[in-house]
Structure 1
Amino acid sequence: MDINEIAKLAGVSRATVSRYLNDGYVSKEKRELIARVINETGYVPSQQARTLRTGKTKLVGVIIPKINSHSVSRMVAGITKVLAQNGYQVLLANTDNNEKAEVDYLNLFAERNKVDGIILIATVFTNAHHKALDSLNVPVVILGQRLDGHSCVYQDDYHAIYDLTRSILKTSHTPGYIGVYEKDVAAGHERHRAFLDACASMDVAVDPKAQQSATFSVDSGYLSAEKILDAVPDVDAIICATDDIAFGAMTCLREYGKRIPEDVQVTGVGDSKLSKIMTPSLTTIHFYYLTSGVEAAKMLVDAMTDGDGVPRELRMGYEIYARTSSR
């Protein structure tokens, strides 16, 4: 069954069927005839033929740093919802935080027009990243980081941590910080910078030994908190770059006999599901991850359809959820 047979059975021209399949103008009467024949025959248009005809694959590549992340899953949910509504399918590429794999996928998706556009949930930008992004011949939207010269949707990491730290310092005077690697500009560098700036704004000195780096895991949060407690026993607040790090820190504090929040306040970032049911519940920052995925997909759809090629930026808002891990 092909488009010529559909046209013959419906009593219309091949061009009319083609317009129908590509959402062009077709009269109501002929549209109903074509729809009935397609339903009766079970005809499915060839994606390959459509690609050859239009130059469009109706596929979008989405590159993610890890698949088991609460924040990433919410962003992907927003992305796929919008893309499906606009007739696009998703090719999902998980890099497991491998910088080279991100670049490889950017190059792969761009080869031979495999996709109509790309969303990159970014962590770092190496020279190889810049080279790959600059050579793309399809629209790309970066989600989670800000990069000059490219369309992006990102969180307000700096002001969120700055405001949270200042609120904690109203009742704590010996703070510690557990962050992630600084090559991750948003979650690493910006959150750490915000913590230090907030402390400086309130004339609070921070012991370098009370600042530790972790990975995005509960275990590393535990180990980093242990290092802080051994080096600075009187620490009375630990600001963590993620909720998972905070969960590890809280476990360590309990094992050291510290009460939360009476002895040590703990905060996280992400408002994950566990943050609400932990005892005590975790004070954290809520970023609008689902909405940011929606906005990134909308931005990409606009660029793929009638975009003017001008890079656009959207900085998302945030909320601080004060719970029982802080005073």
Structure 2
Amino acid sequence: MITIAEIAKMAGVAKSTVSRYLNDGSVSPVTKLKIERVIQKTEYVPNSFAQSLKAKVTNLVGVVVPRLDSYAASKTMIGIDQQLRELNLKMVVANSGLSVEREIENIYSLAKQKVAGLIVLPTVITKAHLEAFYKIDIPVLIVGQKHENLYCLVHPDEQAAFELGKYVISKGHKKIAFLGVAERDVAAGFKRKEGFKKAVGKENDIHIRFYETTFDTEDARNAAKNIISDFAPSIIVCATDNIALGAMKAAYDNGIKVPTDLSITGFGGYSISEYMSPGLTTVKFHYQLAGQMAAQNIHHLINHKEIKKCTTLKFEIFKRESVDKIK
């Protein structure tokens, strides 16, 4: 690869002049033309990361995700990357592996790399998060969780779960199992559960039990097997589509037909939900759009433009074949 020193030699200028040009510094029109001609001739591609470490204003945006195998996180990152590219910004991703401690470390680590702004997809917001955001002193946007002191972009988990609950009731289901995740994940674990509770809370003759599993499909499969044998509900409402996939496999393992013998719903609107057999009834969240909006918002914050403190996205309920009407 050609170096800055070689570019400088070919252009007949100092190495510092080439560096200043690459970092949008002050260079005379004649010198600028010389450098541009050499760059075009050699097809030189600057090292954006190295440049950003030396520059006062970087073109890097840090993105902290809870896990890389999450459909929601991956789709959100695709949206972020697409929009950042259009804004001439680059994405630097740090994976926390569902560890809060590692998430805090990633926040500090990205700040040390002089990112211009930070997009974080946390499962929870702790005092350590707030302290880190205060100390790094760069624009921060939270996606998926809400906090009154932070700029955020959220999905309407509670409202969506409420609407899904009303739909389940309208189909005549009276014996309902809700298979969720730990409430420390405020959006997926707490708000979805609370929204569903509110939907069924005032209804008569409804027997509902709440269960907990992890985001892992195999764990969900085992949890659903126990629910089927111990409770035998007419429907299992799952906190994510991956959990619903595990529940469907548990039904199949037990010779139970979906939806004739057991209805199942998901949450999230993952691509796979449309191609399951039967098709999965689910709440559709627009994760890729969320990523695009997050990139636009962090760009505004970097450039000291005013944005809404919290933006709430829309949702849809895809009513497919996995939910039967109780006669």
TM-score if structure 2 supplies the norm length? 0.86
Cα gap change, 1:254 to 1:15, in 2 (>3 Å): closer
Alignment of 1:95-110 (within 5 A): 95-110=96-111
Cα gap change, 1:254 to 1:35, in 2 (>3 Å): same
CA contact (8 A) 2:158 2:195 kept: yes
1:321 alignment partner AA: F
Range with greater deviation from structure 2 (190-199 or 142-151): 142-151
CA contact (8 A) 2:52 2:114 kept: no
1:129 alignment partner AA: H
Alignment of 1:57-76 (within 5 A): 57-76=58-77
Q: Which residue of structure 1 aligns with residue 95 of structure 2?
A: 94
Q: Give how far 1:71 is off.
A: 1.4
Alignment of 1:281-296 (within 5 A): 281-296=279-294
Structure 2 residue corresponding to 1:321, chosen from 304, 318, 321: 318
Q: Give how far 1:259 is off.
A: 2.3
1:213 alignment partner AA: E
1:237 alignment partner AA: I
CA contact (8 A) 1:260 1:280 kept: yes
- The alignment yields a C-alpha RMSD, in angstroms, of 3.1
Range with greater deviation from structure 2 (288-297 or 276-285): 276-285
Q: Give how far 1:28 is off.
A: 10
Alignment of 1:127-142 (within 5 A): 127-142=127-142
Range with greater deviation from structure 2 (123-132 or 62-71): 123-132
Per-residue displacement from partner, 1:218-266 (whole Å, max 9, x unpaired)? Answer: 1122222222223322x11111000111111112223333321122211
CA contact (8 A) 2:180 2:238 kept: yes
Q: Which residue of structure 2 aligns with residue 227 of structure 1?
A: 226
Q: Which residue of structure 1 aligns with residue 309 of structure 2?
A: 312
Range with greater deviation from structure 2 (34-43 or 263-272): 34-43
CA contact (8 A) 1:166 1:202 kept: no
CA contact (8 A) 1:199 1:206 kept: no
Q: Give how far 1:17 is off.
A: 7.9
Cα gap change, 1:2 to 1:92, in 2 (>3 Å): closer
2:72 alignment partner AA: S
Secondary structure, aligned partner of 2:179: strand
Q: Give how far 1:48 is off.
A: 7.7
Q: Which residue of structure 1 aligns with residue 194 of structure 2?
A: 193
Per-residue displacement from partner, 1:96-116 (whole Å, max 9, x unpaired)? Answer: 1111100111122223x5211
Alignment of 1:248-287 (within 5 A): 248-287=246-285
Q: Which residue of structure 2 aligns with residue 81 of structure 1?
A: 82
Range with greater deviation from structure 2 (178-187 or 164-173): 164-173
Cα gap change, 1:168 to 1:17, in 2 (>3 Å): same
Contiguous gaps of at least 5 residues in structure 1: none
Aligned partners of 1:205 and 1:104: how far apart in 2?
46
Q: Which residue of structure 1 aligns with residue 116 of structure 2?
A: 116
Contiguous gaps of at least 5 residues in structure 2: none
